[in-house]
Chains A and B, each alone.
Chain A
Amino acid sequence: MLHVEMRSVNKWFGDFHVLRDINLEVASGERIVICGPSGSGKSTLIRCLNRLEEHQEGDILIDGVELTRDLKKIDVVRREVGMVFQQFNLFPHLTILENCTLAPIWVKKMPKRDADDLAMHYLERVKIPEQAHKYPGQLSGGQQQRVAIARSLCMNPKIMLFDEPTSALDPEMVKEVLDTMVSLAEEGMTMLCVTHEMGFARQVADRVIFMDAGRIVEVNEPNAFFTRPQHDRTQLFLSQILH
């Protein structure tokens, strides 16, 4: 069953052609890692999947629902898709627990007690249940990002998008977040992850996608991707990051 379908997707920022003829299919349970130089359109691609960016040409289908200007369809898609940001984007004026229960209460109309139980369940999953009544400003970066993951999981999404989740973290905290993502992957969550963490890609990804200048240049399973890259551009990129 295809969770994500992108057909001939093109996007412009004004005159700048940021996504060129993107074709991508992601099956249920697949884990995709997208890598590439900055400005290649990786973040824009995944942001189009939950309509944080609008594509001008082509079709995007999430779990069979086409993403158009129709607000109802956008709402449906956003309930199915969770997103974790590079800057965490936790709500600073709410406690950790309130951060996690906000969407279930207000979007899914869940009663507060059920939402609290759900939030505590996922906070235990990401191994920080004791932080539930603190504020985001009191947590470390790694803890905040794990809360962000728990917050997205509270909406029980079918697909999780990760936009460079560890890029803003101290090196010591990267591992705790990656471990969380690995355990998520092992449970069968469909994931699209933009990241520079190649170790993670090797461990978890079903396919690795390399993007450059708005195009998908190469797609392959991790082993082949890292040992036998087919395009020169891919080789150049890998040589620069895998020193």
Chain B
Amino acid sequence: MTTAASSFVRTLRRAPMFRDRTNTIATVAFVAGLLYWSFRFLNWAVVNAIWALPQDAGSNLCRVAQREGACWAAIHERFRFILLGSYPFDQQWRPTVACLLFISLYAVSTLRSFWRPWLLALWIGVPGAAVLLLRGGFLGLSGVPSEFWGGLPLTFVLSTVGFSAAFPLGVALALGRLSRLPAIRVLCVAYIEVIRGVPIVTFLFMAAVMFPLFMPQSFTVDKLLRAQIAFVMVIAAYLAEVIRAGLQAVPKGQYEAAASMGLTFWPTTILITLPQALRITIPGLVNTFISIFKDTSLVAVIGLFDLLGTAKAVLVDPKWIGFAVEVYFFVACVYFVFSFAVSQYSQYLERMLTARTLH
């Protein structure tokens, strides 16, 4: 018994955290602090928390206990609004299905066996289907104008449709930037540098506010569409640089082999260069997508309610003023789940792509 204990103590002392007196004291203090804070946090978040309020009751119960316990009742009562926005209550299966469609699209895209040309068609088809489902107005589905879309579906739509539409434009810009014709090259460089040099909010603002000023009175373009177009233009610029890096990383011998067989520019680019360039830049593309996914919260500036916007709207309600911690914690969890999944996938990708040759 004592020998087991002493050998345990011996191994413990070899660990860096217990190497000498200073380290030992620091470790003990840190662990103690961690335990104390975890205890306090769990007390607040779980033990003393109020999970639900009686029907039609005010939030007094929560306010009284505000210091001691989290008011998860706020989430319990308002999660549908936070996640789905002001979408008509009885039709909320539609945005839910739309979200599931998007999540399945992302999941399918992670599997290597699905990396075939028709996956690109899927990235056009699935967002299209989701948007149609949200909009309705056919086959007995009631029409729901985009002003009522909000929450998670809006975040998915803005980022996924933005990414899909910006992709061909980004490829064109990347190719244009590498073109030997000066006119094309200068135009592409100018476009990319201007957009990357200015905050994204500026473009959203221009799209939402300035664009209608220049249009005749009767001509109104849906606000969501304007925001979407602004996003597409911005994403294309960022994508162009990622893709350009990939194009320049394709070995020169590939171009030479294709040229020596008589393949001209476009067949070489589409069949040989782009497939290889895109495989090389997958980590960069995934990274760009995560950034865009979070940047969609900027649409709050122009009055669209994405996931973060709905959260803020809940906090303006007099009943829930002051419970920002609980609401933002919930939203942060949703963002975190998604971002963490994608970052894990990114690491898996890197392991896979360095372990064996690309094919």
Check B3 for interface membership: any CB of A closer than 8 A.
no
A40-87: which residues lie under 8 A (CB-CB) from chain B? 50, 52, 75, 78-79, 81-83, 85, 87
Given the known interface contacts A89-B256, A91-B257, the answer about A106 and B279 at a Cβ–Cβ threshold of 8 Å is no
Q: Shortest beta-carbon distance, B253 to chain A, in Å?
A: 4
Check A208 for interface membership: any CB of B closer than 8 A.
no
With both beta carbons as reference points, the residue of chain A lying nearest to B268 in the complex is identified as A106
B262-283: which residues lie under 8 A (CB-CB) from chain A? 262-264, 267, 271-272, 275-276, 279
With both beta carbons as reference points, the residue of chain A lying nearest to B357 in the complex is identified as A137
Check A152 for interface membership: any CB of B closer than 8 A.
yes
With both beta carbons as reference points, the residue of chain B lying nearest to A79 in the complex is identified as B262
Q: CA A91 – CA B259 in complex, angstroms?
A: 13
B260 touches A93 (CB 8 A): no
With an 8 Å Cβ cutoff, the count of chain A residues facing the other chain is 26
Check B91 for interface membership: any CB of A closer than 8 A.
no
Given the known interface contacts A52-B256, A91-B254, A92-B276, the answer about A103 and B356 at a Cβ–Cβ threshold of 8 Å is no
Check B112 for interface membership: any CB of A closer than 8 A.
no
Question: B264 to chain A: which residues have CB within 8 Å?
Answer: 75
With both beta carbons as reference points, the residue of chain B lying nearest to A77 in the complex is identified as B262
Given the known interface contacts A89-B253, A93-B276, A106-B267, the answer about A82 and B260 at a Cβ–Cβ threshold of 8 Å is yes
Q: CA A155 – CA B279 in complex, angstroms?
A: 28
B359 touches A89 (CB 8 A): no
Q: CA A87 – CA B260 in complex, angstroms?
A: 14
Given the known interface contacts A89-B253, A92-B276, the answer about A137 and B263 at a Cβ–Cβ threshold of 8 Å is no
A93 touches B359 (CB 8 A): yes
B256 touches A75 (CB 8 A): no
The dominant DSSP class at the B interface is helix
Check B139 for interface membership: any CB of A closer than 8 A.
no
With both beta carbons as reference points, the residue of chain A lying nearest to B270 in the complex is identified as A106
Question: A155 to chain B: which residues have CB within 8 Å?
Answer: 261-262
Question: B271 to chain A: which residues have CB within 8 Å?
Answer: 102, 106
Given the known interface contacts A102-B271, A106-B267, the answer about A89 and B254 at a Cβ–Cβ threshold of 8 Å is yes
Given the known interface contacts A87-B253, A92-B276, the answer about A78 and B357 at a Cβ–Cβ threshold of 8 Å is no
Q: CA A78 – CA B267 in complex, angstroms?
A: 15
A92 touches B358 (CB 8 A): yes
With both beta carbons as reference points, the residue of chain A lying nearest to B356 in the complex is identified as A137
Chain B proximity mask over A104-117: 1 for CB below 8 Å, otherwise 0: 00110000000000
Question: B254 to chain A: which residues have CB within 8 Å?
Answer: 89, 91
B260 touches A92 (CB 8 A): no
Q: Shortest beta-carbon distance, B90 to chain A, in Å?
A: 49
B256 touches A93 (CB 8 A): no
A114-149: which residues lie under 8 A (CB-CB) from chain B? 135-137, 148
Q: CA A85 – CA B356 in complex, angstroms?
A: 23
Pairs A-B, 4 closest by C-beta atoms: A137-B357, A89-B257, A103-B261, A89-B253
In addition to A83-B256, A85-B253, A85-B257, 20 A-B residue pairs with Cβ atoms within 8 Å of each other are A50-B259, A52-B259, A78-B261, A79-B262, A83-B257, A89-B251, A89-B253, A91-B254, A91-B272, A92-B358, A92-B359, A93-B358, A106-B263, A106-B271, A136-B359, A137-B356, A137-B358, A148-B257, A152-B261, A155-B261
**A residues lining the B interface (CB < 8 Å):** 50, 52, 75, 78-79, 81-83, 85, 87, 89-93, 102-103, 106-107, 135-137, 148, 151-152, 155
Can you name 12 A-B pairs with beta carbons within 8 Å? A83-B260, A85-B256, A89-B254, A89-B256, A91-B254, A91-B276, A92-B359, A93-B358, A102-B261, A102-B271, A103-B261, A152-B261
